[in-house]
Structure 1
Amino acid sequence: MLSSTALAALLLPAFAHAEDASEAADKSDILVLGTRTGDANAPTQTGSRLGLTILETPASVETLSGDVIRARGDLSIVDAVTRATGISSVANPGNGGTGLAARGFSGPGSVMQLYDGVRLYPGAGTVTFPTDPWTVDRIEVLRGPASVLYGQGAIGGAVNVISKKPNTTRTEFEAEAGFGSQNSWRIAAGVGGPVNELTAYRFDISRTQSDGWVDRGNSKGLAISGSVQLRPSDRLTITLSDDYSDQEPMLYFGTPLINGRIDDRNKRRNYNVTDALMRFKDNRTTIRVEWTPSDSISVRNTAYRLTTHRKWRNLESYFWNGATGKIDRFDFFGIDHDQTQIGNQADVTIRSEWGGLKNEVLVGFDVNAISFRHANDFDSDPAPAGFADPVDPFVFDPGLYYNTFGVRPQHRSRTRQYSFFAEDRLTLSDQLSVSVGINYDHANVKRYVNSYDTAGVATETLRLDKTLHNVTWRVGAVYQPSPALSLYGQYATAVDPLGSLITFSIGQAAFKNTTGDQIEAGIKASFLGGRGLATFAAYRIVKKNLLATVPGSLPPRQDQVGQRSAKGLEASLTLDLPGGFGIDANGTILDARFDEFLSGGTSYNGKTPPGVPETTANLWLRYDVTPRFQTRLGLRYVGKTYSDNANQFRVPGYAVVDGGVSFAVTKNVAANLRVYNLFDKDYATTTYNDEQWLLGRPRSIDFSISARY
């Protein structure tokens, strides 16, 4: 652990002035990145389809700038978005390393992930795109139900990753190369700008690699993003984009506790097999057309195709056996996912005045065809006796993956979805506006199951033909006693799938989606000429029709019963002070619980749902010592969670300190030093099984050179 003297040495520049005001006048020419996290008066794409600003939206919306994300050194989308208010990680290899929790609800089925405003459909609870922040312009976060905007699967919130787009006014180039602890390195570059008055382009590429912080923890990733924009006229824009991701994540499914605790002797052991495999390939192609035939009408259309290929070959589960003093390893899982999503989203916005009252109304639709194929080796012969025998916790032979015949197709699904949505904002006066929205979402899922004869010949049978349809709506109001102060309230309804829509299981055929609603009120204030933004929100969300096992049923039978809820308070503060000081702070406290939930004869009433921290906080301090020298210090706090419904397995909370300095060698080139987990805290970011913790990165130091022209 670093001493307080070492910490003081790191932060000492933050309290020393070394250059005069004449140099400060040239600050705009110096490469010091990441000084602003958002603008309260800039339109957002996530809290409303009408492009309202943060102050105009009757909901909790937050924007994370891509420059700020990269300056802080966040290495993944999850790392970046969990700096936002009330967002925490439940990422593990099973959900693609992207799972999030918000407002008392967790996982891809309750916290929706979008890319450029298009929702990504989880397959078997898994989303693997996007992950690399290098290609990101910004991330917008909507907390609370978002079904009225994006359909089912967003009772906790929605996270919208917005990619970099062509700059139509000037050519720009940026690059970064870095190396650090665990032999981690990154090389990334981006270039874009106008070709002529008609055409502009953008291209970004990022390559990463690391040895990881556990045995055989190697990982690597490649992200490529490119777009071409055509502007035949001032009123028509056509953008063609393609985004590609190839990830080989760390082959680490967690560290088993020994006697209920992290043991220093095994916290860097990897209990997976030597020839384990995990690889995710995603590719998305998009054509977006934006047409403004007049000042009062706007038309948008986005057509897209997303393909995903995922592979797992792992020994995934490890438990401490107190009777033998060994680690029991089991669950050889070989799984393949092949998924294709083809869709189109369109809307029309009409702006008008009724008797002097301004009105904006938007109507639109989206339609998707998703095919999903699942292959596994679950019905292979049992592993031979002794193959997965208990191993010594500290010294062992990892062994090889066991498979008798290979992974083969087990089932596929075909999902056809469409929705119609509308949103209206009526400005009653300069101070008061009312917004309403409605969404009708319809989906049909067909599931085909393979059965194999003794010769290995497959016969495919339609086993599920399920249609789901729901209507959700939202009504909200914003009162602005001054242009920089907003008081708002809203009521919203929501729908969550029982699992993942496109992999709706045969056992769930008799059931409907879960439903919920939220009431929220809050205040937002911009001050100091836009250099400060403060928000506060209070809410209560209720979710009904949970899926539970009927007590005493043999074989076990499920039913929809009971409810869970979450109520909480959230606050945030962003402040840029004269003299180069900057503060970003946020925090949340909530009470999440099962209100009424009886499953398998056990009552979980009053228990906290798993994976949900009831307190979180983030703090970032920034000080520009000179126009060339910036220092940063960050604190991430996540409260305790539980890994089971009964709250028998408690995961302690943690606080992690990060920091960094950047020095502009020239006005275009900077050197950056970043420190992660400054005090070398042992902590679990999330869990895989009840007592199998995925440990966070230990103390690490990375150095990089960045350039921008």
Structure 2
Amino acid sequence: GLLTLLGTPVSDPTRRNLSVAYANTGSDAFNAGVAQITAVFAQVQADITPRVQVLAGLRYDVFSLDLEDRRVANTGRREFSRTDRIWSPRLGLLFRPVEPLTLYASYSVSSLPASGDQFAGLALSTEALKPESFRNLEAGFKADLGPRLMATGAAYQLDRENTQALDPATPGRIVQTGAQRSTGLELSLTGKVTERWEAVATLAVQSAKITRQTSAAPVGRRAALTPELTASVWNKVEVTPRVSIGLGVVHQGEMYTSISNAVTLPGFTRVDGAVFLRLGEDYRLQLNVENLGDISWSPTSHGDNNIMPGAPRTVRLSVSRGF
């Protein structure tokens, strides 16, 4: 067969006029697929009263995917297809009791076909799977606290259904048995507190749990990589017309690394800083320091035994010019 690797001596690494043949091994993906998407939607926005506004919409999608597995090693079925017909409604309500305050509530449904985002993974194990569905119910507010300071908040409930799991009785087969619910609260404050002080502050509290048992997790187990508390605040203060300083704090609570809930990723609090210097009318010098305290932290992981470490103290210097 064709060689996939060709040795090259370090003393003479340059190669010219060398024919290169690209070949797939038996385990490599080698697919040809055609996706056809047809969609129609309608949306209406109406003022019920001067203070009440309604937004309603409906979308209908027909998603068809035909895929051929061209791997030489594949001696079984080679052609797969699936067609999904999806309704996606949305409804929203805005209410302005007073001019600086806006209240809203919304409900929406969206779907993701089982073949995935890249539409290249259709196989015998996924051909019959229904699209994952997402139902989101949300209510919140927006308030102008001053000419340039705004506060927002939202409470939500997100239900995810048709989640996928491995069939414990048939290795390699995927079945749909799962569902999970995420509930949370988000608050933010953005804008200028004073003429010289800009601030951005966010707070999020969430809970994501399994609501229908799967082969991988029972009801009540927490979803992976979903901290119950996250918060951040960033401040920028203008010391002089040419010099500004920034200071921020990022906090992330502990979370589980996978759906097994066997390994906990510790929470962390990281401090960042910055100095901004304006050079003349067009140039700006900026110094950013991330992780000022040089703490050990881990923002995420790829399973129970593949934890991603955060960067140590990192310094970046940049020069920019305006036109």
Q: What's the TM-score, normalizing by structure 1? A: 0.40
Distance 1:483 1:376 in 2: 64
Deviation at 1:595, TM superposition (A): 1.1
Aligned to 2:306: 692
Distance 1:702 1:550 in 2: 48
1:236-255 paired onto structure 2 within 5 Å: none
Distance 1:597 1:422 in 2: 37
Matched, 1:421 2:41: yes
Distance 2:24 2:210 in 1: 34
Distance 1:590 1:460 in 2: 46
8 Å CA contact retained: 2:31, 2:71: no
For 2:142, give the aligned amino acid: K
Matched, 1:657 2:271: yes
Matched, 1:443 2:60: no
Distance 2:26 2:238 in 1: 56
1:307-318 paired onto structure 2 within 5 Å: none
8 Å CA contact retained: 2:213, 2:219: yes
Give CA deviations for 1:273-311 in whole Å, capped at 9, x if unaligned.
Answer: xxxxxxxxxxxxxxxxxxxxxxxxxxxxxxxxxxxxxxx
Distance 1:704 1:555 in 2: 53
SS of residue matched to 1:473: strand
Q: From 191, 198, 209, give the equivalent of 1:582.
A: 198
Give CA deviations for 1:73-93 in whole Å, capped at 9, x if unaligned.
Answer: xxxxxxxxxxxxxxxxxxxxx
If each structure's helix is expressed as a fraction of its own residues, which one has the higher value?
1
For 1:624, give the aligned amino acid: E
For 1:518, give the aligned amino acid: N
Matched, 1:535 2:149: no
Q: From 219, 227, 250, give the equivalent of 1:636.
A: 250
8 Å CA contact retained: 1:537, 1:571: yes
Q: From 277, 283, 291, give the equivalent of 1:669.
A: 283
Distance 1:613 1:513 in 2: 27
Distance 1:516 1:705 in 2: 44
SS of residue matched to 2:49: coil
Distance 1:525 1:420 in 2: 35
- Cα 1:580/1:499, change in 2 over 3 Å: farther
Give CA deviations for 1:343-378 in whole Å, capped at 9, x if unaligned.
Answer: xxxxxxxxxxxxxxxxxxxxxxxxxxxxxxxx9646
8 Å CA contact retained: 2:158, 2:182: yes
Aligned to 2:140: 522
For 1:610, give the aligned amino acid: A
8 Å CA contact retained: 2:31, 2:120: no
Deviation at 1:526, TM superposition (A): 1.5
- Structure 2: gaps spanning 5 or more residues: 1-21
Aligned to 1:568: 184
Deviation at 1:558, TM superposition (A): 3.4
8 Å CA contact retained: 1:604, 1:646: no
Q: What's the TM-score, normalizing by structure 2? A: 0.86
Give CA deviations for 1:154-199 in whole Å, capped at 9, x if unaligned.
Answer: xxxxxxxxxxxxxxxxxxxxxxxxxxxxxxxxxxxxxxxxxxxxxx
- Cα 1:491/1:697, change in 2 over 3 Å: same
- Structure 1: gaps spanning 5 or more residues: 1-335, 337-374, 380-407
Give CA deviations for 1:427-454 in whole Å, capped at 9, x if unaligned.
Answer: 122211000111112211111112326x
Give CA deviations for 1:472-531 in whole Å, capped at 9, x if unaligned.
Answer: 1111100012332101111111213335141242111111102231211111111312x1
Distance 1:658 1:646 in 2: 33
- Cα 1:603/1:611, change in 2 over 3 Å: closer
Deviation at 1:675, TM superposition (A): 0.6
Matched, 1:498 2:118: no
1:598-613 paired onto structure 2 within 5 Å: 598-599=214-215, 603-613=217-227
Instruction: Report which structure shows greater RCO (CA 8 Å, sep ≥6).
Output: 1
Distance 2:135 2:287 in 1: 45
- Cα 1:633/1:451, change in 2 over 3 Å: same
Deviation at 1:688, TM superposition (A): 2.6
Aligned to 2:164: 547
Deviation at 1:652, TM superposition (A): 1.4
Aligned to 2:90: 474
Say how many residue pairs are matched: 301
8 Å CA contact retained: 2:29, 2:71: no
SS of residue matched to 2:260: coil
1:232-631 paired onto structure 2 within 5 Å: 377=25, 379=27, 410-452=30-72, 462-498=78-114, 500-501=116-117, 502-506=119-123, 507-529=125-147, 531-551=148-168, 553-555=169-171, 557-599=173-215, 603-631=217-245
- Cα 1:548/1:578, change in 2 over 3 Å: closer
For 2:288, give the aligned amino acid: R
Give CA deviations for 1:519-572 in whole Å, capped at 9, x if unaligned.
Answer: 11111111312x111011111111122223344x24454332241001111100
Distance 1:584 1:376 in 2: 50
8 Å CA contact retained: 2:111, 2:131: yes
Distance 2:253 2:112 in 1: 25
State the identity as a percent. 27
Distance 1:670 1:598 in 2: 54
- Cα 1:545/1:459, change in 2 over 3 Å: closer
8 Å CA contact retained: 2:210, 2:217: no
Matched, 1:645 2:259: yes
SS of residue matched to 1:503: coil
